[in-house]
A and B are shown apart, each in its own frame.
Chain A
Amino acid sequence: MSGRGRGARRGVLRVMWRERSAYGFLAPGLILFSIFTVFALLFAFYLTFREWNILEPEKPFVGLQNYQDMVQDEDFRRSIINTAYFTGASVPLGMALGLAVALLLNQPIRGRGLLRTLYFLPNITPFVVAAIIWKWLYNGDYGLFNFYLLKTHLITQPLVWLSDKNLAMPAVVLMSVWASVGFSMVVYLAALQAIPNDLYEAARIDGAGAWARLRYVTLPMLAPSTLFLMVMGIIGSFQVFTQIYIMTSGGPLNRTTTMVYYIYEAAFKFYEMGYASTLAYALFLLLLVFTALQLRLYRRADL
């Protein structure tokens, strides 16, 4: 290292020493973060080369076996497809509905504040409680959905939603959309209110109708929020677990076994911590690629 580098480092150290009280304040957070996040991350990576049943202290080295198993694991491939299905359906739907509600509630209508609160309520409801309630709503014989659907003659036979192999995933998606609309709405509302009014005025003078104003003024101005919601939504829904655990346990016939649920099963049903860690790293990698891709796409679109 050059003399200049050493000098710079000494400078940094001096600053650190001078501001030492700041580190004291940061310590509780840093220590917790190091133990429960950084250490856990590194330990999980170490485990991907090991076989460990969590009970016994031995963690025999297995080389790349866990990775090899993962590549050949059909059930894991299935869980990726299920996760993609869930994400592909719930994220766009939640965002579109959130935007629609935000556009409506941005109008000067009566009871706007109350309506905004109501739409946001699912977001602050404990998720486990919501999932249990939805499980009952979906009940085939006693559920409210079937009651009204039958009453309005939209269906003639009761649907068993969560026990039907083709309906279970859509049912979980619907519940997740319900839970996420409030958040998208709040984000879009904030962005809508930040759009300067003169843009609309100028558009109106140029003869733009309501649709054209939405298409050429509102949507482009909302793009950063859309990117934000999409990245957060995809990251969140790739990690979907609670509603699966409560409502379907991955069934029927593994139709709703998502990646995180599959990782959970490997770890806590079959006690294969090494393999579960490997799967978790695969998920991490997928998320990393996705996020990088999205950010790049938007950068190219010059936003």
Chain B
Amino acid sequence: MTHRLSRRSLATVVATTTAALLLAACSTGGDSSTDKGAGEGPVPEPTSPVTISFASWVGAEPDMKTLVDKFQKEHPNIKVELQNVPAEEANEKLTAQVAGGNPPDVAFIDASTTAQFASRKALVNLDNYISRSDVVKADAYVPAFKTFVTYENGMYGLPFDGESTALFYRTDLFQAAGISAPPTTWPEYEDAARKLTDPAKRTYGQPLFAPEAAYYWYPWLWQAGGKLLSEDGKSVLFNSPEAKTAADFYVKLAQYAPKDYLNSNSYDGRQAFANGQVGMYVAGSWFAGTLGDEFPQIDGKWSVAPLPKGSAGCGTTIAGDALVLFSQGKKTDAAWKFIEFLSQPDNVAQWTYKSKAGTTLPPINSLLESPDLVATKPILKGFAEAMPCGVSQVVANPDWPKIEEALNEELGKAIYGEQTAAQALDNAAAEAEKIIR
């Protein structure tokens, strides 16, 4: 694989450029994405009936239906037409729609893909609209989420929901092992993992997944003060001394991991946590929903804490969704009215922590800090506390998936004891440099 990556990355750049040129050619005369929404005062209400399309994978959820109904009642001239796409196909479908010159007016997308679409000139720069709005304030958002939707200093999306990565732990196993509280530092974490590990009883500290080694290493990297790539995405930073410290600690955790799951993944691994094979599990808040749905038998036997702090303080990986407008759309004002409505704090609260089944967090500071949140969903406490430490590891680089695959492969070898953690990072960095170049 080593040899063909560099050529492939070049081809990808070429392909992306071609796509961008085609898009530019498709969009109608002079209507550049930065002009949209220019003007003063509140965006006017349409005078005749307008239908806007809204693409998402959440259109069938009762909370979304309620919000859409409420919006249509308040704005009788705007009708919202829901287009549903399964989450895992959304990105591909939107790419195809943009390429075909027929995107929806509004879309609910994975926030980390915003920059990708913005860089292809597919999205409306929302700065003009935000400056005219009484509801949406750019600095009300949690900084890491704002980073997700910012491209070349412009905001191209409104963060709508989010989740952070935190530490799930089995209270019953902690008690049995004589651990009084969830670990707050690296040494405490290792100590807890050691105490939980007893191969004779088939219990372990936490699972480690070689095929997903990179993703679960990132939080340790942030906590040690390391970075993946430089701001411009041109140089590799993940083999710095800080990163090597983090990788070394992370790889050593393999001795407290059930060997059966070393070649598994975080989804299959949930069973290890559910049947008490591991006492700790690092995961996003989606995992809380999964545990509640699939494993009610361990209700009350687990809890959530923020990830432990490293030498550079706290750090966690975050993810989320954002609302965006497409630059090829012709009903941009009405579309803005809709996402402005959804972004009202009470509606964001309704969509996130107040939702019946949901376990996501609001990406707005004031909501995140409100006592209302913990009162409504106690299980979200650990995640909400971790949110300010969120690092958006968004790498707006089309080659990132391949770099991550190299990291997975090299860190995987380290987990299997074929090389040291430092060697793993150096090897992955060498490959990443070839890919970027």
Residues of A within 8 A of B (CB): 51, 53, 55-58, 60, 62, 65, 69, 72-75, 139-142, 160, 162-165, 168, 248-249, 251-254, 270, 272, 275
Given contact pairs A53-B15, A60-B14, A253-B210, A65 touches B7 in the complex (Cβ within 8 A): yes
Beta-carbon contacts of B232-260 to A below 8 Å, as 1s and 0s?
00000000000000000000000000111
Interfacial chain B residues near A162, Cβ < 8 Å: 260, 263
Does B288 touch A at the CB level, under 8 Å?
no
Interfacial chain A residues near B418, Cβ < 8 Å: 253
Q: Tell me whether B1 and A141 are in contact (CB under 8 A).
A: no
Among A51, A74, A275, which residue has its beta carbon within 8 angstroms of that of B15? A51
Q: Tell me whether A251 and B210 are in contact (CB under 8 A).
A: yes
Q: How far is the CA of A142 from the CA of B92 in the complex (A)?
A: 40
User: Secondary structure at chain B's binding surface: helix, strand, loop or mixed?
Assistant: helix
Q: Tell me whether A73 and B4 are in contact (CB under 8 A).
A: yes
Q: Tell me whether B7 and A69 are in contact (CB under 8 A).
A: yes
Interfacial chain A residues near B99, Cβ < 8 Å: 55-57
Q: Tell me whether A249 and B211 are in contact (CB under 8 A).
A: yes
| A-facing residues in B1-45 (Cβ within 8 Å) | 1-4, 7-8, 11, 14-15, 18-19
Beta-carbon contacts of B183-204 to A below 8 Å, as 1s and 0s?
0000000000000000000100
Q: How far is the CA of A165 from the CA of B96 in the complex (A)?
A: 40
Q: Tell me whether B15 and A163 are in contact (CB under 8 A).
A: no
Q: Tell me whether A251 and B7 are in contact (CB under 8 A).
A: no
List 11 A–B pairs whose Cβ atoms lie within 8 Å, in order of A's numbering: A56-B19, A56-B96, A74-B2, A139-B260, A142-B202, A163-B263, A163-B264, A249-B263, A253-B413, A254-B409, A275-B4
Q: Tell me whether B11 and A51 are in contact (CB under 8 A).
A: yes
Does B205 touch A at the CB level, under 8 Å?
no
Interfacial chain A residues near B95, Cβ < 8 Å: 55-56
- Interface size of B as a range: 20 to 34
Q: Tell me whether A140 and B4 are in contact (CB under 8 A).
A: no
Return A148 CB to nearest CB of chain B, in Å.
17
Among B1, B202, B261, which residue has its beta carbon within 8 angstroms of that of A75? B1
Does B206 touch A at the CB level, under 8 Å?
no
Return B213 CB to nearest CB of chain A, in Å.
11
Among A57, A69, A141, A248, which residue has its beta carbon within 8 angstroms of that of B263? A248
Interfacial chain A residues near B413, Cβ < 8 Å: 253
| A-facing residues in B106-126 (Cβ within 8 Å) | none
Q: Which residue of B lies closest to A168 (CB)?
A: B263
Q: How far is the CA of A62 from the CA of B277 in the complex (A)?
A: 51
Q: How far is the CA of A140 from the CA of B259 in the complex (A)?
A: 8
Interfacial chain A residues near B277, Cβ < 8 Å: 141
Interfacial chain B residues near A168, Cβ < 8 Å: 263
Q: Tell me whether A270 and B4 are in contact (CB under 8 A).
A: no
Does B57 touch A at the CB level, under 8 Å?
no
Given contact pairs A58-B15, A60-B11, A73 touches B96 in the complex (Cβ within 8 A): no
Return B9 CB to nearest CB of chain A, in Å.
12
Q: Which residue of A lies closest to B275 (CB)?
A: A142
Beta-carbon contacts of B269-303 to A below 8 Å, as 1s and 0s?
00000000100000000000000000000000000
Given contact pairs A55-B92, A56-B95, A72-B4, A163 touches B402 in the complex (Cβ within 8 A): no
Does B407 touch A at the CB level, under 8 Å?
no
Q: Tell me whether A252 and B210 are in contact (CB under 8 A).
A: yes
Return B420 CB to nearest CB of chain A, in Å.
15
Q: Which residue of B lies closest to A165 (CB)?
A: B416
Q: Tell me whether A56 and B259 are in contact (CB under 8 A).
A: no
Q: Tell me whether B1 and A74 are in contact (CB under 8 A).
A: yes
Q: Which residue of B lies closest to A75 (CB)?
A: B1
Q: Tell me whether B15 and A56 are in contact (CB under 8 A).
A: yes
Interfacial chain A residues near B261, Cβ < 8 Å: 163
Q: Which residue of B lies closest to A71 (CB)?
A: B3
Beta-carbon contacts of B404-421 to A below 8 Å, as 1s and 0s?
000001001100101000
Does B349 touch A at the CB level, under 8 Å?
no
Q: How far is the CA of A249 from the CA of B2 in the complex (A)?
A: 21
Q: Tell me whether A163 and B412 are in contact (CB under 8 A).
A: no
Given contact pairs A163-B261, A168-B263, A252-B262, A55 touches B96 in the complex (Cβ within 8 A): yes
Q: Tell me whether B259 and A160 are in contact (CB under 8 A).
A: yes
Q: How far is the CA of A69 from the CA of B19 in the complex (A)?
A: 24
